[in-house]
Amino acid sequence: MAVPAVVHKRTFLIRHGRVWTCRFSAAGWAAGAALVLTSLGGANSSIAATYTAGTCAAIALLAALARDRSPRRDETIISALAILGRGLLTCLLAQLAMRHDHWAPAAITAIIGLLALIVTAQTLSMLRHGPLSRLTIAATPVARHPLPACRLATKSNPAHVKLPISSGWVTASVGSHAGGRGPSRRP
């Protein structure tokens, strides 16, 4: 079976490295922001301030990404960049919709400022906490050996443990024998 030629193509990152990829992305981000700001013309100053601050933050995040760190930190920075980009796009679309509907400039400034504040908070939260892990414990080892899994789980949560079984989840109270009762079933 022949492997398609597309599989053997190297990406920009592989060809030029992390630093040049981040520099190229920063240049693209700056050019895109300049294009948006010039195309809006006499738009509200709040969208200009939001786009300028957002672009500066994105370039700072790309500079941090260019420095080699751990894969977990890279994932956090990339997730923060994605939130920031989506947030700036949301601000732009909100600006265009409000201008189309002839909103008052003060209302546009307030809404864009509120959206910018929400995006900033979400970006900072992502940088502080990182993305959520989607890793779970497999159900098979728990079903075969429930006691060791129960002991491991109680170190992080001493009151209750949720164990997967074939028909759903079982919540077991540990440590106090739950007043002599066994595990309670919850859907």
pTM above 0.75, yes or no: no
| Cβ contact 25:65 at 8 Å | no
In total, the chain counts a number of residues equal to 187
Task: Give 153's pLDDT tier (boundaries 50, 70, 90).
Answer: very low
Measured at the CA of 56, the angle between CA 21 and CA 16, to 5 degrees, comes to 5
pLDDT value, residue 6: 57
More confident residue, 168 or 101: 101
Q: Is the pLDDT of residue 181 over 90?
A: no
Residue-wise pLDDT tens digits, 56-103? 999 999 999 998 778 888 899 999 999 999 999 999 999 999 989 999
pLDDT value, residue 2: 61
pLDDT value, residue 8: 61
Q: Please tell me the least confidently modeled range out of 68-72, 87-91, 120-124, 167-171.
A: 167-171
Residue with tokens 């420095």: 67
Rounded-to-integer distance, Cα 39 and Cα 41, Å:
5
Helices H / strands E in the chain, number of each: 7, 3
